[in-house]
Amino acid sequence: MPDALSPFLNAIENADSATSLSDAVQALADACLVESISHLIEALSYNNPGAAVAAVDGLINLGEPAVPALLEQLDLNNYTARSWAIRALAGIGDPRGLMTLLGAATADISMSVRRAAARGLGQMKWHLFPPNLLDIAQSEAFDALLFVAQQDEEWVVRYAAVVGLESLALAPQSRKNTRRQQIEKHLDKISQREESITVRARIQKAQQYLQEAVPLVEASLTLEEPSSLSSTDWEQILERLYNRKLRERTVSEGDPKHFKQLLDVAQIQRS
């Protein structure tokens, strides 16, 4: 155990109440130590909401270094812990979490997991994606969010999908193509069929915000940060997207053969 972690872990182990446990996890999160990642992930399963919120915030602040461990340690048997982990992945917005969020939003048995994943799909750091992968990734997110917004049986999940669609439409990269217009058109259709007054109100709010936010989106087009992902990371992301597309459909506008061609190019560039 690293010396820097010892006092924090001792405080967690010796916590004798829900409040003291939450405070101890908060202190560990505030320390922002890379060595604390596995311990923060463990705190997601403590059945202590205060500790879980602190752990999620700590993992988000740590950012990219936390992503591999989050993906490896998602607890498939504990939906509460899984929901918190998905929230952390969503908050980080790392491209390596895209496939997990896609699957969780559309197919997870837990309402809270689907809800967190739907929000997260709209918050991806799209500017980190290379040009040959960006449109593919955004298309998958768009399809998943549209599916959830139209078909999920829980209104809170549909609500989250609307929030995700709004965020996707506002992404600077969406301003360069027709995706924003697609989203605005589909929000109209969804609103006409939506039974929940709350969800319809959120759709109206999204539509209004999209109309008013054009100058903000245009002004943010130049705000970018470099990606630290390796060529192997991108190859794995592309391969998983290709396999997902292959399972979904064989002939369509998003032909899987295009994914295969991109994957072949990526493999050649690495060799």
Burial (CB < 10 A; 0-12, 13-18, 19+), residue 219, is exposed
CATH number at residue 210: 1.25.40
In 114-269, which ranges are E strands?
A: none
Residue with the bigger pLDDT between 265 and 11: it is: 11
What is the number of other CB atoms lying within 10 angstroms of the CB of residue 131?
Answer: 7
Q: Retrieve residue 206's tokens.
A: 């999204």
Percent with pLDDT over 90 in the chain: 54
Structural domain total, the chain? 3
Mean per-residue pLDDT over the chain, rounded? 82
For 114-161, what is each residue's pLDDT tens digit?
999 999 998 899 888 887 788 888 989 999 999 999 999 999 999 999
Residues 3-31 as b or e (16 or more Cβ within 10 Å = b): eeeeebeebbeebeeeeebbbbbbebbee
Give residue 226's pLDDT: 58
Domain residues for 245? 230-271
Which residue carries 């790392």 as its tokens? Answer: 94
- Same domain for 128 and 44, yes or no, is no
Please tell me whether the overall predicted TM-score, pTM, comes out greater than 0.75 for this model. yes
Q: What is the spatial distance between Cα 139 and Cα 20, in angstroms, rounded to a whole number? A: 45
- Same domain for 147 and 99, yes or no, is yes
Q: What is the spatial distance between Cα 8 and Cα 261, in angstroms, rounded to a whole number? A: 49
